[in-house]
Amino acid sequence: MSKPIFEIVDSLPKGGPTVMALRSLDFAVPGQWDNLVGFDNTIKTVTGETDPALVQQIGERAVALYNDKSQGYQRALWLYETVDSASGMLGTAAMMNRIGQDTFLGFLKHVTPKPEKAQSLDLCVKLVTELVAFCQINGIPGDSVGDFVASLGDYSGESLMRMAALTCFDGLIPLGAGFTDKALSVIQGTSPSDIEGNQTFKGVRDLIPGKDAKQKHDFITESFGATKGWMDGFVASKGLTQANVLDHLSRFVEFSSDKLDYLGALLDVTVKYYRHTGVQTLARRLTERAYAEI
Amino acid sequence: MMTARWLKVLTALCLSVLLFVTACSKAPSSPYSQIQDETTGRGAPKAVAKAAEQGSSFNRFFPDSKSYNVIPSQEKKGFAEYKVNKDGKTVAMLSINDTTSLPTAALKYKSSTSTVAGYPSVEQGTTTTGILVGDRYQVKVISRDPSFTQEERVAWLQRFDLNGLASLSPNTAKATLPEVVPSQQPQSSPLRRLLPQPAM
């Protein structure tokens, strides 16, 4: 049996590497994210209601909705968890690759992917995971790219923070300026069989629309192409650069700028922002629906 | 020799008792433990009834606005919800749900003494006004900002196409969305596959 949703939300950390890394992005999305944790606390904050009996009633409906597997909430959580852990494995692979370039273990670079290519694919797969998880939570058919793009404009709170983290931690930091163009050209130049070897893709492949690797690859390419404009606009409107993101991040982790691919890998391994903010989104949506239905 | 053997047996026995006792100990209880037990496991009731109306059937009854942005938020079986945004901030939520899945939601209207647009209405908590249409569909306006008052909730409830909702034949409304087929042409624009957007 999977863990109850109230325990999952209650056990979200109040501090640690993920929370600190996300806090460093407050300058990009000021005031949007305040690390809302705790099941009852989420209900009270989202609804503005404090009557214990009403909070309990909302909570009970939220638990029931989450436990009904046909409603997609458990699948969304699985996606958020899986993309984080698979991406952590990519981080380890990227570290191995970097070590391979620096030391006598040169042969390692032949067996681990090039960081830039792996990071590009990682970015594309993570973005598509967001799309699929969004549809599982909000109930819009899984391959409706247009609805997703329209909704991106209305992302706020922890969802906007997740997109900011994706843009900064999986785009700007490892790939630098013009990361969306780089990622798009990588995914376009990657064969369906290549993408099958990507760890992050392997983790979530079953829930990506498409009956075979080619269709899934097409879906990822189209989705990334369609949402690239939003990411470019986000970076431009917030004035985000690799330098200013690193500057804010350096307040919680020490690194030197010539070891950026180590940093990307370190973030991959230690920062689980997809799961953390994904649980927060899930709790918020469940609360909203539960209160509307009771 | 004999003593050593007995010691082994005794150790095994102690371990078994320990395992038995710890397995029986109760997990820390939560106010949600009971509902968790009731809604999980084999044969547990579903949160959403099979007979519930599709959420897409409700979209056409939501109001539009010139001074607010009304944006689709969630659409699930038996449920649809929209956000009401002003100056980039969500000030209220609008929803329609089929109480077939949760009959107790409809029950509270039995003792209602007030009406909105001729339908029984209730105030819930401090932020919500709801009505029950056709003894089945619950329509709610929930404030998300103190500036969105109870009077505004009542005014917004009246902007729904309530008569249309009342005449919705259960389970006969068909989704108007076209079937989406996986694209065979990765270079073509995904925009051609856009689904019709609900009223904005």
Residue A14 scores a pLDDT above 60:
yes
In chain B, which residues have their Cβ closer than 8 Å to the Cβ of A47? 125, 127, 142
- How confident is the model at residue A138, as a pLDDT? 87
Interface of B with A in 138-157 (CB under 8 A): 138, 140, 142-144
The partner residue sitting opposite A49, judged by closest CB among B40, B55, B126, is B126
Q: Do A48 and B105 touch (CB under 8 A)?
A: no
- How confident is the model at residue B176, as a pLDDT? 38
Instruction: Check if A39 contacts B (Cβ < 8 Å).
Output: yes
Q: Do B124 and A54 touch (CB under 8 A)?
A: yes
Instruction: Check if B97 contacts A (Cβ < 8 Å).
Output: yes
Nearest CA in chain B to A282: B74
Which residue ranges make up each domain of chain B?
A: 55-166
A55: Cα separation from own chain's centroid: 29
Which residue ranges make up each domain of chain A?
A: 5-293
CA distances from B161 to A150, A292, B164 (A): 25, 18, 5
Looking at residue B100, the DSSP 8-state letter turns out to be G
Amino acid at A46: V
Number of residues written out for chain B: 200
The partner residue sitting opposite B73, judged by closest CB among A138, A211, A223, is A138
What is the number of other CB atoms lying within 10 angstroms of the CB of residue A233?
12
B145 by Cβ neighbours in 10 Å (0-12 / 13-18 / 19+) ranks as middle
Say if CB A65 and CB A283 are below 8 A apart.
no
Distance (Å, whole) CA B71 – CA B81: 9
Q: Do A6 and B79 touch (CB under 8 A)?
A: no
- Residues of chain B where predicted confidence (pLDDT) is lower than 50: 172-200
Distance (Å, whole) CA A15 – CA A35: 9
Say if CB A152 and CB A268 are below 8 A apart.
no
Give A149's Cβ-side CA count (13 Å radius).
21
Closest CA to A127 of A214, A2, A28, A231: A231
Instruction: Check if A236 contacts B (Cβ < 8 Å).
Output: no
Range A146-153 average pLDDT: 59
Residue A97 scores a pLDDT above 60:
no
A150-154, A209-213, B27-31, B81-85: the lowest-pLDDT one: A150-154
Residue A103 scores a pLDDT above 90:
no
In chain A, which residues have their Cβ closer than 8 Å to the Cβ of B194? 144-147
What is the number of other CB atoms lying within 10 angstroms of the CB of residue A268?
27
Distance (Å, whole) CA B47 – CA B98: 12
Amino acid at B52: A
Q: What is the CA radius of gyration of chain B?
A: 26
Residue A264 scores a pLDDT above 80:
no
The partner residue sitting opposite B31, judged by closest CB among A56, A150, A292, is A56
Q: Which residues pair with B143 in a beta bridge?
A: B92
More confident residue, A25 or A204: A25
Range A206-224 average pLDDT: 89
Shortest Cα–Cα distance, B32 to chain A (Å): 6
Q: Which residues pair with B119 in a beta bridge?
A: B116
Q: What is the CA radius of gyration of chain A?
A: 19
Residue with tokens 């990227």: A94
Shortest Cα–Cα distance, B18 to chain A (Å): 24
Instruction: Check if A51 contacts B (Cβ < 8 Å).
Output: yes
In chain B, which residues have their Cβ closer than 8 Å to the Cβ of A217? 186
A226 — pLDDT class (breaks 50, 70, 90): confident
Q: Number of CB pairs < 8 Å for A and B?
A: 146
| CATH code for the structural domain at B55-166 | 3.40.1000
Amino acid at B191: L
In chain A, which residues have their Cβ closer than 8 Å to the Cβ of B48? 65, 68, 70-71
